């Protein structure tokens, strides 16, 4: 096998370089067709995300990674060697390990993030659509999918949130359990609140209200997540409805004051409120945390959780590396065995087809001589059987004479069909 991985990622290349060699789905299809038409690859998958572009390919026998590297420069109309300082290259076993690490989230900006696995599957499906996957990459990626599932099942690599937005929602889920009957009020409409809104939507939040100083931004975000938009000065009319309040406005002044929450609690008849203040400086007055039936967490509280979870993921990553090491070696061993045995199977089948043709030609000749068809069928079956078993039985007889127990045991496993258990009457 001549498998290579060639690519750039967030560790080796700045964003402007990554953008330069980024593939859309359509452009990846064009690239694959070009690689095939130039006879550079036997099989190929192209992965392109905001953090990486990688080409996984089985090279044609007379090609090297330099041909792919030169093609990549030409495809994006770059000067030769412009990408060289940023590219990394892996061959065969190392390439398999690398793809497994990427698919498992071990090579991601956020350790253990699950999104990359979906992106790998999308790249695989796009390559299948482009007819650039044959037996080797098909077997490899099926093995990779099973390995990722094992990593996710047997380690805690993806179970601990490591972002502020995700941690805020994870805490809400821990507090309430099912969020489908809860109402969340989000203060702000920036990038962090957008992430919070999307995580809440994925958690099937019952109702979502987004309050922002600029109503248009709140409205656009609310529309994209199925929520309701208000302006910040309308908070008092809606605060009592909120079971969850998460703030991240970027405002220099406090947005939510103690007296507002006191009034909201009265309307709620002291039903608990869960609050997370992600903002720096704070959006939610710190004294609110002293109120009965209010549970207030700050960005510092989340940071402790995140750091703890990062340590947990690092430990899980070591366990994942062991799984990948084992599974990558297993795949290469299977591949090597397959490559050794396939020519043998091919020759054995060809021999069998020759014997079949000889027996069939003889039977057809006898039919032309008006020999009894029943006699011809019996003769055909006997001749074909005797010819097919002649070489194996002769070899077994010789093994018996020589006392070759290993060969006899192997022959038993290969030649004797296992007896199915018959039902007792």
User: Looking at residues 325-330, what average pLDDT do you find?
Assistant: 96
Of 171-175, 184-188, 190-194, give the range with the top mean pLDDT. Answer: 184-188
Residues 102, 54 contacting (CB under 8 angstroms): yes
pLDDT band at 347 (very low <50, low <70, confident <90, very high): confident
For residue 389, what pLDDT is reported? 87
Catalytic residue among 44, 50, 57, 410: 50
Domains 3-157 and 164-306 share a fold: no
Tokens standing for residue 347: 């020759």
410 among known catalytic residues: no
Inform me whether the pLDDT recorded for 423 exceeds 70.
no
Beta strand extents in 253-324 (DSSP E only): 273-277, 294-298
Question: CA nearest 248: which of 211, 301, 292, 203?
Answer: 211
Task: Please state the domain extents for the chain.
Answer: 3-157, 164-306, 344-415
User: Looking at residues 191-210, what average pLDDT do you find?
Assistant: 93
For residue 420, what pLDDT is reported? 59
Tokens standing for residue 33: 């067709």
- The radius of gyration of the chain's CA atoms, rounded to the nearest angstrom, is 33
Question: CA nearest 9: which of 46, 45, 50?
Answer: 50
Sheet with 41-48: strands ordered across = 41-48, 52-59, 3-9, 88-91
User: Looking at residues 359-383, what average pLDDT do you find?
Assistant: 88
How buried is 320 (Cβ within 10 angstroms: 0-12 exposed, 13-18 middle, 19+ buried)?
A: buried
Inform me whether the pLDDT recorded for 164 exceeds 90.
no
Question: CA nearest 74: which of 137, 146, 21, 140?
Answer: 21
- In sequence order, what are the residues at sequence separation of 6 or more whose Cβ sits closer than 8 angstroms to the Cβ of residue 342? none
User: Looking at residues 40-66, what average pLDDT do you find?
Assistant: 95
What is the CATH class of 164-306? Answer: alpha beta
Dihedral of the alpha carbons of 411, 412, 413, 415, in degrees to the nearest 10? 70
Please give the backbone phi and psi of residue 356, each rounded to the nearest 5 degrees, phi first.
Answer: -60, -45
Inform me whether the pLDDT recorded for 15 exceeds 60.
yes
Q: Could you give the 3-state DSSP secondary structure of residue 311?
A: helix
pLDDT, tens digit, for every residue of 214-267? 999 999 999 999 999 999 999 999 999 999 999 999 888 899 999 999 999 999
Task: Give the C-alpha separation, 317 to 390, whole Å.
Answer: 55
pLDDT band at 181 (very low <50, low <70, confident <90, very high): very high
Task: Give the C-alpha separation, 227 to 313, whole Å.
Answer: 33
User: Looking at residues 367-372, what average pLDDT do you find?
Assistant: 88
pLDDT band at 329 (very low <50, low <70, confident <90, very high): very high
One-letter-per-residue 3-state SS of 195-217: HHHHHHHHCCCCEEEEEECCHHH
For residue 309, what pLDDT is reported? 79
pLDDT band at 387 (very low <50, low <70, confident <90, very high): confident
How buried is 307 (Cβ within 10 angstroms: 0-12 exposed, 13-18 middle, 19+ buried)?
A: exposed
State the pTM of this model.
0.64
pLDDT, tens digit, for every residue of 292-307? 999 999 888 887 777 7
Task: Give the C-alpha separation, 199 to 52, whole Å.
Answer: 24
**Residue-wise DSSP of 213-239:** SSHHHHHHHHHHHT-EEEEGGGHHHHG
Question: CA nearest 413: which of 394, 398, 397, 392?
Answer: 392
Task: Give the C-alpha separation, 242 to 230, whole Å.
Answer: 13
pLDDT band at 92 (very low <50, low <70, confident <90, very high): very high
Sheet with 183-187: strands ordered across = 228-231, 207-212, 183-187, 244-247, 273-277, 294-298
pLDDT band at 161 (very low <50, low <70, confident <90, very high): low
3-state helix, strand, coil in the chain (%, to 5): 60, 15, 25
Where is pLDDT greater, at 192 or 82? 82
Tokens standing for residue 342: 């396939």
For residue 419, what pLDDT is reported? 65
How buried is 287 (Cβ within 10 angstroms: 0-12 exposed, 13-18 middle, 19+ buried)?
A: exposed
Residues 44, 68 contacting (CB under 8 angstroms): no
Inform me whether the pLDDT recorded for 424 exceeds 70.
no
For residue 136, what pLDDT is reported? 95
Inform me whether the pLDDT recorded for 425 exceeds 60.
no
CA 355 to chain centre: 48
Q: Could you give the 3-state DSSP secondary structure of residue 296?
A: strand
Question: CA nearest 210: which of 178, 181, 188, 191?
Answer: 188
Q: Would you identify the CATH topology of the domain 3-157?
A: Beta Polymerase; domain 2 (3.30.460)
* Arithmetic mean of pLDDT over the chain: 91
For residue 421, what pLDDT is reported? 57
């Amino acid at each position: 096998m001549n498998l290579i991985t060639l690519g750039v990622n967030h560790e080796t290349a700045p964003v402007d370089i990554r953008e330069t060699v980024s593939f859309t789905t359509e452009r990846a299809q064009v690239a694959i067709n070009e690689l095939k038409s130039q006879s550079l690859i036997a099989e190929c998958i192209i992965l392109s995300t905001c953090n990486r572009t990688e080409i996984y390919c089985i090279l044609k026998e007379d090609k090297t990674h330099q041909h792919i590297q030169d093609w990549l420069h030409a495809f994006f109309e770059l000067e030769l060697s412009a990408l060289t300082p940023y590219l990394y290259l892996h061959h065969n076993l190392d390439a398999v390990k690398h793809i497994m690490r990427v698919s498992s989230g071990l090579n991601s900006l956020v350790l253990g993030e699950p999104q990359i696995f979906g992106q790998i599957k999308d790249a695989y499906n796009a390559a299948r659509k482009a007819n650039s996957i044959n037996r080797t990459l098909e077997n490899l990626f099926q093995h990779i999918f099973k390995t990722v599932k094992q990593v996710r099942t047997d380690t805690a690599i993806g179970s601990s949130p490591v972002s502020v937005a995700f941690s805020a929602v994870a805490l809400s889920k821990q507090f309430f359990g099912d969020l489908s009957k809860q109402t969340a009020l989000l203060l702000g409409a920036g990038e962090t609140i957008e992430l919070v809104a999307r995580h809440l939507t994925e958690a099937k939040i019952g109702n979502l209200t987004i309050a922002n100083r600029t109503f248009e931004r709140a409205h656009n975000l609310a529309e994209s997540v199925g929520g309701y938009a208000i302006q910040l000065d309308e908070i008092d009319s809606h605060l009592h409805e909120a079971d969850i309040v998460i703030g991240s406005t970027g405002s220099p002044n406090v947005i939510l004051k103690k007296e507002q929450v006191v009034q909201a609690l009265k309307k709620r008849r002291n039903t608990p409120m869960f609050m997370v203040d992600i903002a720096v400086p704070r959006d939610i007055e710190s004294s609110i945390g002293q109120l009965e039936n209010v549970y207030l967490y700050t960005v510092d509280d989340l940071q402790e959780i995140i750091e703890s979870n990062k340590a947990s993921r690092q430990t899980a990553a070591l366990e994942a590396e062991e799984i990948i090491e084992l599974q990558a070696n297993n795949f290469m061993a299977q591949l090597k065995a397959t490559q050794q045995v396939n020519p043998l199977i091919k020759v054995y089948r060809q021999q069998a087809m020759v014997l079949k043709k000889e027996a069939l030609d003889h039977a057809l000749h006898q039919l032309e001589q008006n020999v009894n068809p029943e006699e011809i069928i019996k003769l055909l079956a006997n001749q074909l059987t005797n010819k097919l078993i002649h070489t194996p039985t002769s070899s077994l007889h010789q093994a018996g004479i020589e006392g070759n127990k290993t060969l006899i045991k192997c022959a038993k496993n290969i030649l004797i069909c296992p007896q199915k258990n018959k039902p007792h009457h």
